[in-house]
A and B are shown apart, each in its own frame.
Chain A
């Protein structure tokens, strides 16, 4: 029976390896999709069509706060992964719970910013600059939302089924996704919020 168990474990390990690699390839495709949005922003950010430019709209402290919140959530997700690999179910729920809360805080700050712009009459149909701003930052926000939904579903199953191998694998992929979103945000922070004031 030991031989069969070894074969099973090898089958699992090979499967995990494949899935990790495949998810990484998917992240590359997502990165390329974001690249188009960045390229469009870079080309069109000066076309304000008589409306406001980034310099007049963006709040630097808000951008810094969002960045630090997301960065911290990426860190806590990493701590959650260490706990997952050690099989510590309570710690997993704790750290990923904090990650979830921070992600939610990030989203709410972003939505408040959007709502404020819209209230002042600066919508995505005002100018090419605003279109590219809303779509670039909004797409990132949509990805964060998907990540949060994924996190909620996974944590739900962790509570229900306990921390089994498939769930650890899912948490690994989720944390990859979450780190990747933080990396994209670094560039949004730099290219959108900081560059507006250069």
Chain B
């Protein structure tokens, strides 16, 4: 009978071990609590710290309350726990990485281009900012490196067609040459030889555009609000 009691003690713990676990757990609860309420640190370091304390307390409770790791070999329970911990990491980290990535790539700027291009002016009752239908069309011709007309005056929801009649491809970007901007979700318009592209003027204001490959070839358009 004594051998069973010994295994019992070793595998199932004594009062002392439970008290030790309890005290440590209380400490690991109070410390992060005070760090947060007293704003000792903030931002990412604070987040990492409180998560660290949570993991520490989990280990304390696993060792002192659940007695993991004390079973005789082979340590099946420990192995399954470690494997599960790994999978939890994959699920949480994987989800966060993927969802963050999806949102970054499908965010406002990118979807602006999409909704403008498809004239999706509302989703589920909420307006997207895209134009419902195009109005007048303005044409800008790029020939021999010069843009004509240099300045287009348009109304909101008109369309602008840029036509490249030169013998080389042009990459039209918006904003100044050293600091590109996006317009209505569009970052770059690649115009092949003799090709044109049309964009919907869904944002009001005055905007520059230029050929990124030959920055002297530039123009302006002003979009008047409704």
Contact = CB atoms under 8 A, between A and B. Distances in A.
- Assess A/B contact in the complex (Cβ within 8 A): yes
A39 to B, nearest CB: 4
Interface stretch (B22-30, B179-187, B192-200): B22-30
Nearest to B89: A35
B58 A43 contact: no
A189 interface: yes
B45 to A, nearest CB: 10
A39 B93 CA distance: 8
Contacts of B25: 71
B18 A197 contact: no
B96 A39 contact: yes
B107 to A, nearest CB: 13
B12 interface: yes
Given A32-B84, A179-B65, A190-B53, A198 B29 contact: no
Nearest to A83: B15
Given A85-B8, A183-B58, A68 B92 contact: no
- Looking at chain B's contact residues, is the secondary structure mostly helix, strand, loop, or mixed? helix
Interface stretch (B35-43, B112-120, B128-136, B146-154): B35-43
Interface in A147-198: 176, 179-180, 182-183, 186-187, 189-191, 194-195, 197-198
A127 B8 CA distance: 50
Contacts of A82: 12-15, 18
Nearest to B33: A64
A24 B95 contact: no
B213 interface: no
Interface stretch (B73-81, B167-175, B202-210): B73-81
A65 B30 CA distance: 11
A197 B34 CA distance: 12
A24 B62 CA distance: 12
A31 B85 CA distance: 9
A60 B42 contact: no
A198 B12 contact: no
19 contacts: A24-B81, A31-B84, A42-B96, A43-B95, A68-B29, A78-B13, A78-B65, A79-B18, A176-B66, A179-B65, A180-B66, A182-B65, A186-B58, A190-B32, A190-B51, A190-B53, A195-B47, A198-B43, A198-B47
